[in-house]
């Protein structure tokens, strides 16, 4: 990736006065990660867990990307707002993100919905932050970064903060170009020559295309940067508005756009993971998108680089033995090809191709696993055949089991996506998992 004034090359990064400025700005920033959503489009994967807690990439959870971006950017005061099915997420953060130095004012706090304004839960994303304004005030931060906890990407937020300050922008919204056919799932904006947002529509039926690229629209990434005092005033105003849905995308941002206070931050200026000239960002909000983002990691050169020591994606590291492959007989050989195999796995006389085995997966003799994701603690019996499947945590697949070869038959028992991926959970198998976390 080439250097330009708006982008750092992390492979050759060295200390500089510019880095000191970014570090200072990051220290003045408080991050709020919105992690309370169910993520219903992930179907049964979120029956027992919030979307940010869904496993990803063999040993991560989706929320680890937003949290790692914060820490790597130097933003080390973070509040994670939870609500739906939060126990597994709370456990993950408490056990995996307690390494920050509290004595230096560094922390990742888990903040469950506390019903601080009435008896209801959070009414929207803006209300979630409004109910936690006391934490922001206590931090005495100059800037507040509001993040979604359910996207996969690598971004230096300090660069966004630096641009925000240099522009004198009260509000900045990170944005990325997406195909118009997909843009209806996002907030879509128009900008002028100075980068000021002139229009903003949340999930429009007919997205406004980019003038210079009519096949694409400029989509909000759900990353908002506010001057802290402005944010507090606007959230108090929004909370008093009975007609508001109390959502950033539907209410707060459009009102600020009308007043000319919002600037767009182009993701390519702060993206750490570029694919050619295209920044990597994935909304893994559907089962198909989740499957495809994971499967990309099995490619010889995946689009998402998880092997970058300069920008690591951090997570809870369980103390497990190394993965093990046993037997080397004809027809009973433990092998994995073009695959990711996490710690604690045992592949016993089975073949694994283009697949990801998460932690503590067991695969029995003569089984063939192809193009599939096996989430933690899944146990695969002997002679099992899988193709294009997602096997959820704690599933026990009996000897001779097969899925992914007959979509009509699979639909009788499991969930089959529009792109032909078969999702299997313990409940679908008639099993009761001893722990869904």
Q: Tens-of-pLDDT digits for all 437 residues of the chain?
A: 333 333 334 333 444 445 778 888 989 999 999 987 666 788 999 988 889 999 999 999 999 999 999 999 999 999 999 987 788 899 999 888 888 888 788 899 998 876 555 555 788 899 999 999 999 999 999 999 999 989 999 999 999 999 999 999 999 999 999 999 999 999 999 999 999 999 999 999 999 999 999 999 999 999 999 999 999 999 999 999 999 999 999 999 999 999 999 999 999 999 999 998 899 999 998 999 999 999 999 999 999 999 999 999 999 888 899 999 999 999 899 999 999 999 999 999 999 999 999 999 999 999 999 999 999 999 999 999 999 999 999 999 999 999 999 999 999 999 999 999 999 999 999 997 655 55
> Which residues in the chain are classed under CATH 3.90.550.10?
17-296
Tokens of 154: 């690598």
Query: Residue 110 forms beta bridges with which residues?
Result: 80
pLDDT for the residue numbered 320: 95
Tokens of 374: 């096996």
CATH topology of domain 17-296: Spore Coat Polysaccharide Biosynthesis Protein SpsA; Chain A (3.90.550)
Packing angle, helices 157-167 and 63-73, rounded to 10: 60
pLDDT for the residue numbered 24: 87
152 alpha carbon, distance to own chain's centre: 4
Q: For the chain, give the number of residues.
A: 437
Cα dihedral 163, 225, 191, 270 in deg (nearest 10): 50
- DSSP E strands in 113-186: the ranges are 143-148, 151-153, 171-179
414 CB-side CA count, 13 A: 27
Its sign, for the CA torsion 427, 371, 67, 227, is: negative
Contacts of residue 275, defined as CB under 8 A and 6 or more positions apart, other chains included, come to 303
Q: What's this model's pTM, rounded to 2 decimal places?
A: 0.92
Neighbours of 318 (CB within 10 A): 14
Relative to beta strand 143-148, strand 216-227 is antiparallel
30 phi/psi in degrees, rounded to 5: -115, 130
pLDDT for the residue numbered 119: 52
C-alpha closest to that of 149 among 283, 267, 33: 33
CA distances from 394 to 66, 75, 335, 427, 435 (A): 26, 35, 22, 10, 8
Tokens of 139: 């931090």
Tokens of 393: 């945590």
> b/e per residue, 408-431, with b = 16+ CB within 10 A?
eebeeebbbbeeebbbbbbeebee
| Residue 61 burial (10 A CB sphere; 0-12, 13-18, 19+) | buried
Measured CA to CA, the distance from residue 304 to residue 58 in angstroms comes to 13
pLDDT for the residue numbered 36: 72
Tokens of 98: 């307690």
CA distances from 419 to 181, 289, 388 (A): 17, 10, 10
Whole-number CA gyration radius for the chain:
23
Measured CA to CA, the distance from residue 168 to residue 275 in angstroms comes to 31
pLDDT for the residue numbered 21: 80
Q: Does domain 324-424 have CATH number 3.40.50.2300?
A: no
pLDDT for the residue numbered 169: 93
C-alpha closest to that of 53 among 70, 41, 65: 65
> Which residues in the chain are classed under CATH 2.160.10.10?
324-424
375 alpha carbon, distance to own chain's centre: 17
Relative to beta strand 340-341, strand 328-329 is unpaired
Neighbours of 189 (CB within 10 A): 23
Got the DSSP string for 43-105? GGGGSSS-GGGSEETTTEETHHHHHHHHHHHT--EEEEEE-TT-HHHHHHHHHHS--S-GGGT
Its sign, for the CA torsion 154, 158, 162, 164, is: positive
Which residue has 């570029």 as its token pair?
274
70 phi/psi in degrees, rounded to 5: -60, -55
Measured CA to CA, the distance from residue 379 to residue 395 in angstroms comes to 6
| Pair 361, 345: CB distance under 8 Å | yes
């Amino acid at each position: 990736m080439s250097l330009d004034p708006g982008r750092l090359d992390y492979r050759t990064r060295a200390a500089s006065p510019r880095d000191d400025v970014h570090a200072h700005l990051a220290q003045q920033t408080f991050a709020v990660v919105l992690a309370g959503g169910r993520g219903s489009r992930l179907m049964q994967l979120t029956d027992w867990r919030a979307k940010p807690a869904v496993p990803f990439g063999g040993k991560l959870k989706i929320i680890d990307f937003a949290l790692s971006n914060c820490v790597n950017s130097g933003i080390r005061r973070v509040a994670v707002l939870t609500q739906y099915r939060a126990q597994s997420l709370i456990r993950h953060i408490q056990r995996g993100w307690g390494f920050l130095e509290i004595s230096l004012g560094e922390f990742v706090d888990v903040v469950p919905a506390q019903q601080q304004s009435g008896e209801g839960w959070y009414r929207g994303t803006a209300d979630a932050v409004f109910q936690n304004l006391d934490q922001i005030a206590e931090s005495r931060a100059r800037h507040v970064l509001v993040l979604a906890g359910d996207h996969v990407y690598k971004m230096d937020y300090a660069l966004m903060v630096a641009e925000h300050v240099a522009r004198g922008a009260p509000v900045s919204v990170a944005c990325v170009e997406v195909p118009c056919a997909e843009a209806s799932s996002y907030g879509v904006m128009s900008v002028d020559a100075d980068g000021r947002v002139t229009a903003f529509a949340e999930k429009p039926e007919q997205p406004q295309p980019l003038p210079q690229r009519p096949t694409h629209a400029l989509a909000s990434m759900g990353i908002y940067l506010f001057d802290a005092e402005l944010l507090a005033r606007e959230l108090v105003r929004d909370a008093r508005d009975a007609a508001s849905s109390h959502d950033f995308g539907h209410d707060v941002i459009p009102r600020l756009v009308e007043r000319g206070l919002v600037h767009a931050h182009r993701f390519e200026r702060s993206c750490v993971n570029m694919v050619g000239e295209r920044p990597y960002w994935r909304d893994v909000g559907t089962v198909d998108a989740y499957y495809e983002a994971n499967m990309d990691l099995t490619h010889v050169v995946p689009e998402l680089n998880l092997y970058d020591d300069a920008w690591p994606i951090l997570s809870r590291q369980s103390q497990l033995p190394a993965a093990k492959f046993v037997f080397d007989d004809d027809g009973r050989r433990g092998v994995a090809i073009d695959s990711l195999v996490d710690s604690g796995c045992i592949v016993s006389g089975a073949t694994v191709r283009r697949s990801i085995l998460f932690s503590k997966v067991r695969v029995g003799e003569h089984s063939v696993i192809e193009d599939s994701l096996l989430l933690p603690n899944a146990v695969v019996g002997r002679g099992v055949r899988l193709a294009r499947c997602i096997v959820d945590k704690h599933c026990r697949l009996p000897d001779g089991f097969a899925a992914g070869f007959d979509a009509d038959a699979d639909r009788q028992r499991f969930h089959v996506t529009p792109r032909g991926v078969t999702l299997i959970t313990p409940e679908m198998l008639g099993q009761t998992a001893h722990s869904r976390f």
